[in-house]
Structure 1
Amino acid sequence: MARSRKAAPALDLSARSFWPKSTELVSLEFTVTPPTDCNLYPQYTTGLHAWFLDQIRQLDADLSAYLHDGESEKPFSLSGLSGQFVSHSQSLQLLASQPYQWRVSGFSQPTVAGLAHWLRQLPDEIGLKNAPLQIDSVQLAAPPMTYAKLLRQGKQTSGSVSLSFTSPTSFRRKGHHLPLPWPTNVFHSYLRRWNHFASKPADPDAFLDWVDDYVIIQRHQMESVKVAAGKRGSVTGFTGAVTYGLDRRAADPPEFQTLFYALTQLAPYCGTGHKTTFGLGETQLGWQSDQAAPEVPSMQQVLAERIDELTALFTAQRQRQGGRRAQDTAEKWATILARREQGDSLQEIAEQMQLPYETAKTYSKLARRAAQESHSP
């Protein structure tokens, strides 16, 4: 998918600084090219996620821990690739020497400082499985920003606002996926990040009650899609665009109206919903649904549907145990078995799911046995 935003000039990676030291939010767009035609494997965003975290780990162990598991809310988001793809069999093919875009965003001051450090030692290539990508240039996808400036902009904004969800976006509700841009879910997603990283948190209950009462969907154009995303499981999400308006009574209290507009400005940095560090929930300001959303490879849809099928099977078999733990185990077994059926190596699966190899091996055996037992008379 070609992005509509006019390209910003490439950053001078030899510059002494890329943005002010006070910057708390930044979004970078990398232009990359494959040297040869190559196929993207279904869960390639997991590979981008792993590559990025490994890059940071090599530079700064403390920052790596902060990004990886030091925060209940992750201070970064990653997109998938966008550009000209060719459908090939059940996958998407990247074309040799064709430019593609990839975004990395940070929305805490330590993360933004770490990104600046990384840019000064940026490698020439992204080591993605079966699809090495040469890094041609880096530019700002969204301007360097602070949370205080977002609030100031919020005070100066009025009227309706449109958001475009350019990769599958979803929320969790009562243990299931909710593939709809319901205002309370959308703005709760942004508010969680805001309250975690901004210096002026808001009362979540009061603000979300205000959203529920006064934020109106004026227009939308949506399409649902099922994808395999993240370390395990599948996601039913949506892509498209929505326009939100405010009821005439929304001006009271004024600080909530200001926060509403500030959070819409936060969206392009943090993304929407869950698994935004694995390419889901990429969000842009404005109505962009006239552009085709990135095509989801049929192999990825097949994998997602197989994971769903196996998860339901294993959950039913473990019904006596119940609870979130049984569901998590079922998702792990399902993801491992579905990927093994697709030909992924157990070593690769273990690394991407952050499981010890022997644990992944045991889960694979148990999952295969459970699947076979389900077909026994």
Structure 2
Amino acid sequence: MPHSLVLNLLPVAPIPSQFLTGRHLHALFLNLVSAVDSDLSAYLHDQSNEKAFTLSFFQVSRQEVAKSSTAPTQKRVLPAAARPIFQAIQWEQKQAIRENTPIWWRISLLDDSLFDRLTQLWQQLNFESPWHLGPTNIYITNIVSEPQSNQPWVNFCTYAELFDRASETERQIAFTFCTPTNFRQGVYDSAMPSRESVFGSLANRWNKYSSIAIEPTFIEAIFPSFFDIRTEVSTDSRSKFIGCVGDVSYRIMGDVNPVAIKQINALADFALYSGVGRKTPMGMGMTRRLQNF
């Protein structure tokens, strides 16, 4: 069952910027999993491609910073004014995140066969004990797993429901690429969101984790109708990642049967959970479908 949820976090000391990279957050997620299921953590770590989860970068809420600097002795629940609302997604923190700054962190899960084990993870997490990111202790204040009006990155749906709900008539498909997105083409990378790259990436992940096969034989019927994108670079001490961010709208053209249109719409809806392109388990390729574009 694809599930996109948000962890609300509170650091009790500054988080230096060098510990806010995708690989550090990837390691933190595996540590969370390992705390309740070490075998599952090892399995997720060893997956070589199309991993069963995606992550965002830490998102700093633009709300009043929590005043308290003492470590919690019980589960913390932020006041409503400090809970995160939707905002432009951040993919690079040039400065340290200050102590007591509310943070939200999106995690999506794709594998039906692992869903029950991953669900137990959230039920067994200890809210009273800190987690470590570099030199900093971080507390999980709560987990948002049900859709919220102010948090469009939270949702869940089975693959069958995603497919059944997909439109058989909607021909306009629009995406917003919220973090740098690129695609492997042979031995090189491309930051251009071509129809083959975007829908091929979605179909590969869908087919790996869903029992409803979608063969992307319809790609030649998809044409870009609008784009407002730019290249962005995300760097850390090890690498430079060049990708695109912005909005692209595609249109289904010609005589296309309703089943193919439904498949295209199902993949577009799936993008919320799967992202597209490379390094989605490290925050890249974070993508949402835009409605009424």
Q: Deviations over 1:114-144 (max 9, x none)?
A: 2211111213333211443322221133322
Structure 1 residue 43 displacement after superposition: 5.7
Q: 2:43 aligns with which of 66, 72, 79?
A: 66
Aligned mate of 2:59, from 67, 82, 87:
82
1:55 maps to 32
Aligned to 1:236: 242
Selected match of 2:137 from 132, 136, 156: 132
Match of 2:125 in 1: 122
Structure 1 pair 149/83, CA: closer, same or farther in 2 (3 Å)? same
The 5-angstrom pairing of residues 138-157 of structure 1 reads: 138-140=143-145, 141-155=153-167
Matched, 1:227 2:234: yes
Q: Does 1:98 align with 2:101?
A: yes
Q: Deviations over 1:202-257 (max 9, x none)?
A: 334xx2xx21x21121212112122247x9643211111111211132x23x3221
Cα contact 2:15–2:134 (8 A) shared by 1: no
Partner SS state of residue 74, structure 1: coil
Deviation at 1:57, TM superposition (A): 2.5
Q: 1:214 aligns with which of 193, 202, 221?
A: 221
Greater relative CO, 1 or 2 (CA 8 Å, sep 6+): 2
| Poorly superposed stretches of 4+, deviation over 4 Å | none
Query: Which of 192, 203, 206 in structure 1 is aligned with 2:215?
Result: 203
Show structure 1 runs of 5+ residues with no match.
1-23, 290-377
1:72 CA drift (Å): 3.9
Q: One-letter code of the match for 1:234? A: K
Conserved? CA contact 1:40–1:130, under 8 Å: no
Larger Rg: 1
Q: Against the structure 1 CA distance between its residues 111 and 72, is the aligned structure 2 distance closer, same or farther, given a 3 Å change threshold?
A: same
Task: For 2:228, give the aligned amino acid.
Answer: Q
- Tell me the number of residue pairs that the alignment of Structure 1 and Structure 2 aligns: 254
Look up the SS of the partner of 1:273 in the other structure: coil
Q: TM-score, normalised by structure 1?
A: 0.62
What's 2:8 paired with? 31
**For the aligned residues, what is the CA RMSD?**
2.5
Residue 274 of structure 1 corresponds to: 278
Q: 1 or 2, which has the higher helix percentage?
A: 1
Following superposition of structure 1 onto structure 2, how do residues 103-114 of structure 1 map, counting pairs within 5 Å? 103-114=106-117
**Match of 1:365?**
none
Are 1:28 and 1:103, in contact at CA under 8 Å, matched by a contact in 2? yes
Asked if structure 1 preserves the Cα contact closer than 8 Å seen for 2:5 and 2:155, the reply is no
2:190 is the alignment partner of 1:178: yes
Matching residue of 1:248: 254
Q: Give the equivalent residue in structure 2 for 1:21.
A: none
Q: 2:289 — aligned with what?
A: 285
Structure 1 residues 279, 105: CA separation in 2 closer, same or farther (over 3 Å shift)? same
Q: What's the CA shift for 1:29? A: 0.7
* Deviation string, structure 1 residues 345-375 (Cα, Å, up to 9, x no partner): xxxxxxxxxxxxxxxxxxxxxxxxxxxxxxx
Output aligned runs, 1:337-376, within 5 Å. Answer: none
Partners of 2:243 and 2:276 in 1: CA distance: 11
Match of 2:172?
Answer: 160
The 1:145–1:132 alpha-carbon spacing in structure 2 relative to 1, beyond 3 Å, is same
Q: Distance in 2 between matches of 1:139 and 1:38?
A: 23
Quote the offset at 1:178 in angstroms: 0.7
Classify 1:132/1:116 alpha carbon distance in 2 versus 1 (closer, same or farther; 3 Å): same
